[in-house]
Amino acid sequence: MSQSLAGARTAAVPMAEVVLSGDLGRPSRLTVPDLLAWPQCGAEVSFECATSGVQRHRFTGPLLYDVLSAAEPGFDPARRKDRLRFLIAVTGADGHHTLLSWAEIDPDFGRAPVLLAVTLDDNPLDRAGPQLVLPQDRCGARYISGITAVRVDGGYPAWA
């Protein structure tokens, strides 16, 4: 096969991208290789699935907190109370989604070491897209795979 044909085949399977949007000074689109730019953490986790029982996996990737902090959320970092209004919505390719509070992953509050995983059991997630890893969760339902969008929203409470 010619070089150009091989290249065309590779290009035909687009690399997954995560759209970072919302109340951010620096919104962006990130591929899994882009996520290697942050310090990588590892997590050996087990979680229970309501339908398939207990699963154990090893994940690596950057902290969600680090990636979102670099995108400059629209709060004053010096004012801790300002951060408490912020929510993080994470969406998978199949539409499965969940919400986290900013405070849940903030080192001044919940300090949950939530990852945007780029490997699952030593396999890269370049094509599938990153997976949300929440070592503190007993249940697997928030381990969203094939993440396509992460939206940060500081509009809560809506009645303020």
Ligand X SMILES: Nc1nc2c(c(=O)[nH]1)N[C@H]1C(S)=C(S)[C@@H](COP(=O)(O)O)O[C@H]1N2
Stretch that binds ligand X, among 60-68, 73-81, 116-124, 144-152 (CB under 6 A): 144-152
Q: How far is the CB of 96 from ligand X (least distance, A)?
A: 3
Task: Tell whether the torsion through CA atoms of 42, 143, 16 and 18 is positive or negative.
Answer: negative
The closest alpha carbon to 152, from 100, 111, 115, 104, belongs to: 100
Q: Hey, what are 110's tokens? A: 């919940």
Q: Of ligand X, Mo ion, none, which one does residue 62 interact with (CB within 5 to 8 Å by kind)?
A: none
Residue 6 found at the interface with ligand X (CB under 6 A): no
Amino acid identity of residue 115, one-letter, is L
Residue 101 found at the interface with ligand X (CB under 6 A): no
Q: What is the per-residue DSSP string for 99-153?
A: EEEHHHH-TTTT----EEESEETTEE-TTT--EEE-TT-SBSTT---SEEEEEEE
Which of residues 22 and 130 has its CB atom nearest to ligand X in the complex? 130
Task: Enumerate residues 14-53 that contact ligand X by CB under 6 A.
Answer: 49, 52
Which of residues 73 and 140 has its CB atom nearest to ligand X in the complex? 140
- Contacting residues toward ligand X, per CB under 6 A: 49, 52, 92, 94, 96, 140-141, 143-146
